Every structure is written in structure tokens, then in C-alpha cells.
Amino acid sequence: MNKSNKKTHQKVKIMTETFRNEIVQRITKNLLDIQILKLIQTQPMWGYMIKKQVEAKYGVKLRHGALYPLLNELERKKFLTSRRQQQGGRTRKVYSMTEKGNQYITAYYSVLREQVSPELTPML
């Protein structure tokens, strides 16, 4: 590969990564509830841990004023359950997935597959 082709290839790679990061941030902002459920599906978490995971994985700054009402809503819908946990003199509210939350994530992946691969969509 000559220098010109190498530079072009590197520019395309940088552009693709930039687009990827932008798309991940848009998905996270628009589907924050699903992103949070996906995080909690891997392991039970408390609010601050969720906030830090979202920031680290998706590059989205998450305010407490947005996070906790959303967690309360997910718990009200019975996608999550919470329990108080004592940790070094503090009490944390730790969130875990419910079966209904797992079913919701499964449905999300099903819809996503249909959108990405329409030929896989069952005929009605």
C-alpha cells in the first residue's frame, strides 16, 4: 500500500470510529432504559455504579436527576427489583433484573434483529 492509500485508509478508519462513537451515544441516550437493563442483566448494581458504567462504556454523562427516576420507573414496571445493602457504613440500593426484565431485553433483541435483517422477519 502506498502512502496515499495508507492515509486514505487511516482517514476512513478514523471516520468510521467517529461515526461508531456517535451512534453508540445516540442509542444510549435514546434507549437509556434498555442500556441500563443490559448493564444490570450482567450483574446487580447500585445507582452510582450504573452511572459510572454508562459513562465509561458509552461516553454519555448521566445526571442523577435522570438516572434515579428511570430506575424507579423500571422498578415500577417490574423490570428491576431492588434491595438495601449495607456496605462500609452506607446503605446502597442494589438493583437486579427480574424475569420480566429479561423477557423485555429478549424482545428488544428480537425487534432489533428484525430491523437489521428484514428477510428474517416472519411472514404474517
pLDDT per residue as tens digits for the range 50-77: 999 999 988 888 898 999 999 999 999 9
Q: How many domains does the chain have?
A: 2
What's the domain range around 16?
A: 1-30
Pairwise CA distance, residues 79 & 77, whole Å: 6
For the chain, how far is it from start to end, CA to CA, in angstroms?
Answer: 50
At residue 118, the pLDDT reads: 66
Supply the mean pLDDT for the chain: 87
Kindly state whether residues 26 and 47 are assigned to the same domain.
Answer: no
At residue 31, the pLDDT reads: 86
Task: Collect all residues with Cβ–Cβ distance below 8 Å to 7 and sequence separation of at least 6.
Answer: none
- DSSP letter at 89? T
pTM of the predicted model as reported, rounded to 2 decimal places: 0.74
Kindly state whether residues 92 and 47 are assigned to the same domain.
Answer: yes
Answer yes or no: is pLDDT of 82 > 50: yes
Kindly state whether residues 2 and 22 are assigned to the same domain.
Answer: yes
Answer yes or no: is pLDDT of 11 > 80: no
Kindly state whether residues 20 and 47 are assigned to the same domain.
Answer: no
Contact (CB, 8 A) for 14 and 35: no
